[in-house]
Structure 1
């Protein structure tokens, strides 16, 4: 595995605790991109979905341990809760061990650009004012992602190469969804301009982006449910959108393999003791 040392890493919408979370692919990415700063930009743990059904795998445990280890070893980890892990917003402004919990943060890049880092759900009118509709939409999106698993299996059986997302296709093609994404991005950019900042780094809508909107640099981390994307800042201050492929995720370094084996042994011991 190639190691890319960068200044900062930004990830959002991991949705730990769900079947749809692609923890193995996230582990591959985290191992490949050590950094000085790690930003967890909301919806890292999906408390909404866990009220209905908890799906917590060994790989998801390893994700948590990997983040904690990076914090212990000196990487500055800042966790900005989203709407799916909003229960943690009661504790913003304090530290949990080596991890800082904040409602939002202003990140200054190596070239001096100032970016507002926040999850972004406060700019989503549905989530903000019609929570029941947001929960209903979340259930529907979860169903699409689950259906996509069966579709991916069928594509492999038919020998069709590449990854294709039903949920992503629906989000791109449904007119109302396209309009929503545009409204969200515009609202975020206007708010950042009013604060005199250079740009924004957010998540929430599961649509990765890195572009200018009316003079404001709009950056969205995407997600680790469907697209498996993240933002990295290089040491010269340049931001890059990373699309992490399934082939890269399957390549484990010795440390990662040891972590997986150790977790499996612990879980087996607990089941035997029970």
Structure 2
């Protein structure tokens, strides 16, 4: 059982065939928190316009979240671009889940964090429509390769490995776009007087202290399978949750960034 103060999740993409629902369901069943923030693209309405891919595990995820909310867990849903239709219901509740356009969270160590999905930074990251179209289609190809690569790994007894994330880490253009996105998010938090920012959108999990601002991207459940967790002492950690759950990065909010195995 993972006992923590707060969980941050985004980019689950329920309804999409690449959603790693079994891993997320396992995480939610083993994680206990006072508060859960859903930072957008929880349901992939874009993908569902083309083809609905809704599994039993995806249905159980929705039921699990609703049950946690009924049991007193505070759950805030901040929609993203793939579930932007939910933004029309900002200020309302779905069951006991509160819907908001953005939010803030104060950690146990008194750090105030800006919470948003992050698609508002697209104009500062993209070079133009052609590049955006090319990027989307290349990512679809990466997901296709990731899906079949991991099917072969399972058949040979191997554990999950994010081939898509590995390939992205080797592409200079992708790394430049990630850096520009990070800079835009940090600037937004700084202008607002926040100590840090938590976002998703770009499917790149990361914790970093930059310009005195805590930058956290909680990743996704398409290829990375990561969640950001505020531990009971107020420290932040990124969990990679597949066959073998592990902390891949941690940041004690009173100190500098560090890597953890």
Give the TM-score of the pair, scaled to structure 2: 0.87
In structure 1, C-alpha distance between the alignment counterparts of 2:186 and 2:142, rounded to whole Å: 29
- Number of aligned residue pairs: give it: 245
Which residue, 35, 38, 45 being the options, matches 1:37? 35
Aligned to 2:208: 211
Query: 1:202-227 CA deviation, whole Å, 9 max, x = no partner?
Result: 00010101110111000010000101
Alignment of 1:82-121 (within 5 A): 82-121=80-119
Q: Does 1:174 align with 2:162?
A: no
Q: Which has the larger radius of gyration?
A: 1
Q: Does the Cα contact within 8 Å between 1:121 and 1:127 map onto a contact in 2? A: no
Which residue, 186, 194, 198 being the options, matches 2:195? 198
Q: Which secondary structure does the structure 2 equivalent of 1:207 belong to?
A: coil
1:74 Cα offset (Å): 0.5
In structure 2, C-alpha distance between the alignment counterparts of 1:206 and 1:191, rounded to whole Å: 19
Q: Does the Cα contact within 8 Å between 2:39 and 2:116 map onto a contact in 1? A: yes
CA gap of 1:168–1:81, structure 2 versus 1, over 3 A, is same
1:156 Cα offset (Å): 4.5
Aligned to 2:120: 122
Q: Can you give the 5+ residue segments of structure 1 that lack an aligned partner in the other structure?
A: 249-274
Q: Does the Cα contact within 8 Å between 1:122 and 1:128 map onto a contact in 2? A: no
CA gap of 1:179–1:6, structure 2 versus 1, over 3 A, is same
Aligned to 1:63: 61
Aligned to 1:228: 225
Q: Which secondary structure does the structure 1 equivalent of 2:216 belong to?
A: strand
Which residue, 240, 244, 253 being the options, matches 2:241? 244
Q: Can you give the 5+ residue segments of structure 2 that lack an aligned partner in the other structure?
A: 246-261
The farther-off stretch of 149-158 and 71-80 is 149-158
Say which structure is richer in helix: 1
Q: Does the Cα contact within 8 Å between 2:87 and 2:101 map onto a contact in 1? A: yes
1:155 Cα offset (Å): 3.6
Q: Which secondary structure does the structure 1 equivalent of 2:34 belong to?
A: strand
In structure 2, C-alpha distance between the alignment counterparts of 1:193 and 1:225, rounded to whole Å: 30
Q: Which secondary structure does the structure 2 equivalent of 1:242 belong to?
A: strand
CA gap of 1:75–1:134, structure 2 versus 1, over 3 A, is farther
Q: Does the Cα contact within 8 Å between 2:154 and 2:160 map onto a contact in 1? A: no
Q: Does the Cα contact within 8 Å between 1:7 and 1:233 map onto a contact in 2? A: yes
CA gap of 1:198–1:128, structure 2 versus 1, over 3 A, is same
Give the TM-score of the pair, scaled to structure 1: 0.83
CA gap of 1:86–1:133, structure 2 versus 1, over 3 A, is farther
Aligned to 2:46: 48
Q: Does the Cα contact within 8 Å between 1:126 and 1:133 map onto a contact in 2? A: no
Q: Does the Cα contact within 8 Å between 1:223 and 1:229 map onto a contact in 2? A: yes
Q: Which secondary structure does the structure 1 equivalent of 2:5 belong to?
A: strand
